[in-house]
Structure 1
């Protein structure tokens, strides 16, 4: 999925561009907020604040920057603002991270990248991946569901997973590079 055209339309203030940003990112932003806040009501409020902030800040957005990273940055700040407001004792000014339980922002970002990679697959391959991983269907169940031979399902699955490995290899490379004590010394 290429966000370049969407980013440009959003940055120029087109309402259709903003509506598409909202449609594209509302679910993932809400997911991040509910993970950070652990309360769906507060997460909904943070999501609304994030999109209000995105609309108000659209003039400051540089369409050459990654749109998803900017959206998630604004959303994270909105969730932190809601968290701070709801918390009874003030958070020290030098505390930069809000302690939360559950999935980290890094894991949510990785999930977002996986979702986008799956969306970038050819439709027949993406369908097989979704059925296998999201609905936990076996190859024979997928073949029956789609009305295609099992060999077709297997070949589509193989091609899709090969494409996903290529598209998402940087996630594994980043983790290997981050491991402590594994330098070539």
Structure 2
């Protein structure tokens, strides 16, 4: 059953429809929040706040709008609020990355779908993930969030624009800037690691 039908059922008072929506989006929202927040207790709080917002929006949700971008907008806004309260910005567990001397920036950012795992590969991926995490965690929040949404969650430009409440042109410009900044910082990080 699609989201719109579940939302209609939930709006009519069917609590099981809400549970089904929560089950459908639980993993992806949780993974999304882990990329923004460093403390597991904070992740749990924001996760619950996100679904609480869906729960209380039963009567006001616009059924003509898709749920997924709306839900991720809520999660992103609540994560930003939590980060502001903490007055720091950290990114954790950006997933497993693989290592290759010929890796391009896009290769590094697109490696989350790689599933074949060998023990040595796991070690290399963990090292690469830690390096990527360090580079992205040092980026300004606006650039970090655009990379996370575009590369790790594979949102389209229009969806990112809706989530961040910015024009599509700004999404493209900011993503271009973010990738350029990542490339510069990645190069500097790689040079520092070689020197050590």
TM-score by length of 1: 0.49
Q: Which has the larger radius of gyration?
A: 1
